Structure 1
């Protein structure tokens, strides 16, 4: 297990380098740049040259990339071209919101999806199964921005409730924090629950067909023991895989939801930086998100051995 973890950590290096290099090249191929945005109508060749030399943008792209990645390896993610402030403190501050939003959305998804998926499997081909399958199909099909917009319209027009704007830390004010976070978390959790529900249903049905389930029932075990001890545990591998992928995706994929609910998270930071051509901010955020995504997948792989002892990484 230790050797496997070390190998996976070493694999992070080429993956992250490849991701940052791709993002770096794509950003530099986009029309426009941060210098033009900063100078506006006051842009002159002299002013442009001065700023390019100040930020090192007059160098060839490969030298710019090497200078940036060398600083990153030393823990320095550079400064924003727009604000000239260090990127890392703001990125970590915004990540707290995105991380909390991801955890709340994942918890809501599990609470909704796993019980309904189990019920759907046990009530196969009944009206209950049909309702659950329709719900899961809606969750898979409806985009998060559509559900978020519809939810805001219903609450505001039907119940005169308007979601609060801004952000309060859970430690400082738990009540206000939950009031702010619960709606966007519900939107993301409801969307996530569709695929988790479908996966739970199919996984449980597959396990229930196995011979060892018939043997457990033949020994006189209660249906609760059969379902929650034997069937669910053996069917968790694909469910855990899907949940791990969703959590990794959410950490970098909450841009639209954060924008709709005016949450100052990491996704909104990336979107603002892209619009402003703030290359160092985009590169730092993408690298950070990619690192978190790979770490989540590593944790999921390690969990496999605890869920199913038959899996070995020797």
Structure 2
């Protein structure tokens, strides 16, 4: 465990690049920190690295590469050897601006990830310089002003295979799961840190590999999420569900769609921490999940059907 330091930055694809960048800057409050080709780099104000999210113009929506930072050069070497032993490695490439050599690989579902260690810390310009020296950037006071990237939730055809890969190859800790009546796992929450979760896999009912359910950004308080709902109303951002509280992981949440169609979650940064080194996964049954979220709100139907990139409506019908 802990050879992966943390979830670092994510590439998100969109067919409407300018509109998506406007969403991330005006609604979420991120700051543009460079461009390259069809990609725009943005950062959250409390991220010590240069990039929090990479928005890439693409024919459709979905997730590109997800990047993890290794805890040390030695950890990077060890992790690459373990990945190569699984046969899921792709090879080395140059990192994004501000990042060193990056090893690319795929999870069992086909999502592409990158692993690196070398990283140039963000150095703010005078206009972005914070008042407090232990803060990476001045608070933007724009839109929701999210603090940092929190987690990613993939859709996966085989949740257990993906869970096992993260646990056995990358050293992730499994914290909570949804276990169906037939014994299969429909959702798995894993962490590389002491947060409740960094990477989630939930079952893709369409049977399509490599899709995204959502990415999440952390705010300081629940009140920030309530304000985020008001700001969404003012800016014409589509609210899918919430504000409310999850039963799993107890996260206070709001789900919205960005213009490219990708689902974005806002969640409170003060959620549970997992400190026990011998933590055992908390399993949730079908009957428990049928009760809805923590205060009884039923899970909205689109939560089980909407993912990116989109697939034809008939795909997966026979599996339901």
In the superposition, the TM-score normalised over structure 1's length comes to 0.25
Q: Which has the higher strand share?
A: 2
Q: Which has the higher helix share?
A: 1
Q: Which fold has the larger relative contact order, with Cα–Cα distance below 8 Å and residues 6 or more apart in sequence? A: 1
